[in-house]
Structure 1
Amino acid sequence: MTAIKELKHGDEKVKDAGWGYRHQQCVILFWVLTVAYSMRSCMGVSLVAMTDDNIDQGNSTEGFKVNGVLNALMLVPPYPKFNWDKKIQDTMIASFFWGYMLLQIPAGQLAHRFGARYLLTGAMTINCLMSILLPMATYYGGWYCTVVCRVAQGLTQACIVPGLHTSLGKWAPLHERGRLAAMVYGGQALGTVFGLPMTGFISASPMGWPGIFRFYGIMSGMAAVLIWFLVYDTPAQHPKISAAEREYIEDDLGASEGKKKMPVPWKKILRHKGVYAIIVAHIGQAWGHTALYSEVPAFMDKIMGVNIKANGLLTALPFLVMWFTNFFFSWFTDWLIVKNIMSVTNTRKLANSLGMVPAGIGLIALAFAPRNIYVVETILILICAFKISAHSGFQVNHIDISPNYAGTMMSISNFVSNIVASFSPIIIGFILTDVSDKSLWGQAFFLTAALYLVANLVYVIFGTSEKADWNDPEEEEDIEENVPMMDKPEKNDKTNQ
């Protein structure tokens, strides 16, 4: 039987059902996000193994002769090589995000209407098929078919984050919300840490570059099976959950089993100031995250003289540290709430500030840092170590405001933030007219730092964690219907005019 502990929260005692099926849910969702982010980041490294500048433009037959069925299916070497120019390669990388952006907001609606289980199972299944078929599609259909496969993967992966947030909205009680969300979203950091080295290892093995996509396809398929058999939309639907754990979750969030799926209150959501505070904070975080991924490696190469791709430790260490500090900040914020040291709203604002302010200061320090790899790497580690704290700030805030519509709200903020962040490489590219000029890099870092600091300031001023009155409109209607007639004001009463 699940152990029950009691935590003191203000004047009330909170039952903690201990380790339970809500944690199992989060472990599986963590695996899903890890696989998704590994798959998302593998294309850049895969292109290194797929291309060869010494063959004719677009030619894929040189050094590759079909010899039997296994060779035709690209299950045994040799494997074809391609001479794609930079524009084609960039198109193939960007095509994923075309699909990803297109389905963001509809994905939130799908998660709300059909539940996270069906949505995530379908997303990972399609990712599995597209990834396994991609090598043959590339060889027999050219880079156009590769783009089609990546767009399809982007469309389905657009469903993942809204699906995760929808699930957390049904399974994460307030007093554990930071830790459970950190458990799930830690997959963003760990997926990158494992994805890049694993991609390089597979491409250098006898499996070759086709093995990269088959590996991630198998991982996606395994994730789909786990979701289908072990993930449930609500505690009430789980066949093995204890009564104590179900009561613990539902007492905090409210039971949702048997309730009619209510339409999304779009007008009320879009009028809520807290939603806009989250969107602004999400923009700052997404822009900074994009800049760190896309521009810092070039800075290390052009200014520091370090080949970041050849040094796996330098690439992985900041994100590995970020994964570990993720658990500290999530525990710390939950502790502040449980011990009633700070209100939920102020705790979210503190966590967001601990993430964005040090990141902004760190980028300013990076602009003035000497050309010393130890100094620069230390600054990058500190930026990543603190940056993750914002996940216990704005990123959990959707669930605070409305557990029932958390996935929809996340789809909105994720869509807007990624649209803005997609311009980060373009704008920084206009600034970096000379990539060997350290002062120009300083301007790019100043811009990103300013966005971090301004976004956090907006969130601190306008952010809120108060549960919205439109979170459960059905309950509001029931309350109104149960009010005795004598207590309802008469519309025609002259004294009220």
Structure 2
Amino acid sequence: MTAETNTGPMIGQRHLQTFLLFLSIVVNYMAKFNAGVAVVAMTNADNANPNFPEYDWNEMERSYILSSFFWGYIMTQFMGGWLCRRYGARITMFVSTMGSALLVALIPWCVSWGGWQAYCGIRMAMGLFQGFLFPCIHAHLANWCPVQERNRLGALANTGIDCGTLVAMFASGLLAASSIGWPGIFYVSCGVGVLWCILWWIFGANQPKESKFIGEAELNYIETSINSSRKAEEAELKATGPIPVPWKAIWTSVPFWALMITRCCQSWGYSTLQTEMPAYMNGVLLMDMKSNALYSALPYFASWIMAFVYLIIADILLTRGIMSITGIRKSVNSIAFFVPAAALIGVSFLDSTQKTLAVVLMCTNVGINAGSTIGSTINTIDLSPNHAGILMGIVNTAANTVPILTPLLVGIIVKDDHDREQWQIVFIISAIIFCVGNIVYVTFGQMVNQPWDAPDFMDKQRSSNLQEVGLSKALEAQQSEKVEEAKRKESEAALEKNESNETGGTMEN
């Protein structure tokens, strides 16, 4: 008779931790992406609440503001993992979110005397703090999620990305048009961030055994599942030893470069919409702030829903053997890149009389692009399960460099945000980059473990190098012997000739 595993309550502390991680992404994304709406309200008071200051910032200055967050963000990606290992996710995420929340509250006061430069400085500092976030989230999930629930709980936590972007767009527009005006965007973002920190400090725990609220049954269930998995990993590690990172092989791998180029291209198109959509809707489509808020948020609601749709479809195709993992990845990625590229070009030719169609195309763009997660984001696991974390760190850093550039390009191209032709250039460039990225991925991308993923790859390479060196030395020795032999024969021949000449001379005398 098989004993039934007691997993504790149906909704337990592991679910609460997952929900807190979901909320952490939401509140941090609110602080991260509220600038897209805020700069529109701050530079066009008539479009929001006119009782608050208006600033005369040109498109380039607005672009610096939108870009500045990522100046700091890319600098602390790897540091976040180190801090989490040293101090734990609880304190690191608390500092990350609290620091970002307090900084965002300073913006209304600092901008009044420091202008757009102060705004840039604060957003850069926010990026430094938020760079710690995702390494901590992944580490916390690893400590709290039973192995068999890891994918499900991890996916639920990461839906905070789309939800946070949605809330940032929608809430920011409503707040800017309300009685508290555009400063309210920052104060509310600060408030929800501080509230999350309080909840996290009370309920968050680095590991299940540190939680004051977890039941014994759930604790045993989580620890048994994780420990059994870790014992298997430790046994493998003991047998093979630590797996060295084959840096040279990674940086010379064509499939890895194809993945990195693809992720950068996806980041280009997606970040263009994230940061510039409110300005485009206000300038070209002539939407007021409330309408802008609703319609700016709708595409991210579509993305949130489509993420689950893609997941279900891909699971059915794979489990029923209808398509291979290579076919699924490349097909889904092609849909997620080519369709948004066409939608971007379509949007660029619409004007204020075609608002509904513009919103539909934008929802199509962002919603269909949600498939890029299945299409290419998790391709790191296909290439190298043993080095997936290293690959993700490199790719994620490169992809997060792109949002620094996209607003700056918009600032160079768009001098008048009411000029539809200038926006056409921006959207067509993004569409071309989408297409190029997918062509590279379909042509050179691979969904199989690379030779350098093998634990003994470096040993084999060293052995091969030693064999090559040994063969080379043997050839050199052989060549040297031949040269010496030739010299010896030449010397003997010369000696014989001299002896012959001497003998001939003696006989003549």
Question: Would you call these one fold, judging by a TM-score over 0.5?
Answer: yes
Match of 1:127 in 2: 97
How many residues are aligned here?
Answer: 439
Q: Partners in 2 of 1:35 and 1:283 — Cα distance?
A: 25
Query: Is 1:111 matched with 2:81?
Result: yes
Aligned positions of 1:210-289 closer than 5 A: 211-222=187-198, 224-225=200-201, 228-229=204-205, 239-241=219-221, 246=226, 264-289=245-270
Indicate how the Cα distance of structure 1 residues 134 and 169 shifts in structure 2: closer, same or farther if over 3 A, else same. Answer: closer
Picking from 355, 359, 367, the partner of 1:373 is 355
Q: Partners in 1 of 2:283 and 2:62 — Cα distance?
A: 21
Match of 2:211 in 1: none
Query: Is 1:420 matched with 2:402?
Result: yes
Query: Is 1:449 matched with 2:431?
Result: yes
For residues 43-90 of structure 1, give each alpha carbon's deviation from its aligned partner in whole angstroms, at most 9, with x where no partner exists: 455567889989xxxxxxxxxxxxxxxxxxxxxxxxx97776527776
Q: Which amino acid aligns with 2:249?
A: K
Match of 1:101 in 2: 74
Contact 2:103 2:126 in 1 (8 A): no
Indicate how the Cα distance of structure 1 residues 300 and 150 shifts in structure 2: closer, same or farther if over 3 A, else same. Answer: closer
For residues 133-188 of structure 1, give each alpha carbon's deviation from its aligned partner in whole angstroms, at most 9, with x where no partner exists: 65469748964776555333211322334455667789999999876664343222
Picking from 156, 167, 179, the partner of 1:194 is 167
Match of 2:339 in 1: 358
Indicate how the Cα distance of structure 1 residues 95 and 27 shifts in structure 2: closer, same or farther if over 3 A, else same. Answer: same
Indicate how the Cα distance of structure 1 residues 341 and 278 shifts in structure 2: closer, same or farther if over 3 A, else same. Answer: same
Match of 2:30 in 1: 38
Shift of 1:375: 1.5
Match of 1:337 in 2: 318
Q: Partners in 2 of 1:269 and 1:440 — Cα distance?
A: 40
Shift of 1:461: 1.7
Mean Cα deviation higher: 389-398 or 83-92: 83-92
Q: Partners in 2 of 1:194 and 1:437 — Cα distance?
A: 28
Q: Which has the larger radius of gyration?
A: 2
Q: Which amino acid aligns with 1:111?
A: G
Q: Partners in 2 of 1:272 and 1:25 — Cα distance?
A: 38
The structure with the greater share of residues assigned to helix is 2
Contact 1:28 1:226 in 2 (8 A): no
Indicate how the Cα distance of structure 1 residues 394 and 184 shifts in structure 2: closer, same or farther if over 3 A, else same. Answer: farther
Indicate how the Cα distance of structure 1 residues 200 and 381 shifts in structure 2: closer, same or farther if over 3 A, else same. Answer: closer
Secondary structure (helix, strand or coil) at the match of 1:365 reads helix
Shift of 1:257: 9.7
Query: Is 1:86 matched with 2:68?
Result: no
Match of 1:328 in 2: 309
Q: Partners in 2 of 1:139 and 1:377 — Cα distance?
A: 34
Indicate how the Cα distance of structure 1 residues 242 and 181 shifts in structure 2: closer, same or farther if over 3 A, else same. Answer: closer
Which ranges in structure 1 are unaligned for 5 or more consecutive residues? 5-17, 55-79, 233-237, 481-488
Q: Which amino acid aligns with 1:157?
A: Q
Indicate how the Cα distance of structure 1 residues 136 and 281 shifts in structure 2: closer, same or farther if over 3 A, else same. Answer: closer
Shift of 1:347: 1.9
Shift of 1:329: 0.4
Match of 2:486 in 1: none
Match of 2:501 in 1: none
For residues 450-495 of structure 1, give each alpha carbon's deviation from its aligned partner in whole angstroms, at most 9, with x where no partner exists: 111110111112222323455573x779999xxxxxxxx9x999xx
Aligned positions of 1:384-463 closer than 5 A: 384-432=366-414, 435-463=417-445
Aligned-residue Cα RMSD (Å) equals 4.7
Q: Which amino acid aligns with 2:438?
A: N
Secondary structure (helix, strand or coil) at the match of 1:305 reads coil
Q: Which amino acid aligns with 1:188?
A: I
TM-score computed with the length of structure 1 as normaliser: 0.70
Query: Is 1:155 matched with 2:136?
Result: no
Q: Which amino acid aligns with 1:306?
A: M
Secondary structure (helix, strand or coil) at the match of 1:393 reads helix
Shift of 1:377: 1.4
Which ranges in structure 2 are unaligned for 5 or more consecutive residues? 209-217, 462-466, 476-509
Identity %: 26
Indicate how the Cα distance of structure 1 residues 128 and 318 shifts in structure 2: closer, same or farther if over 3 A, else same. Answer: same
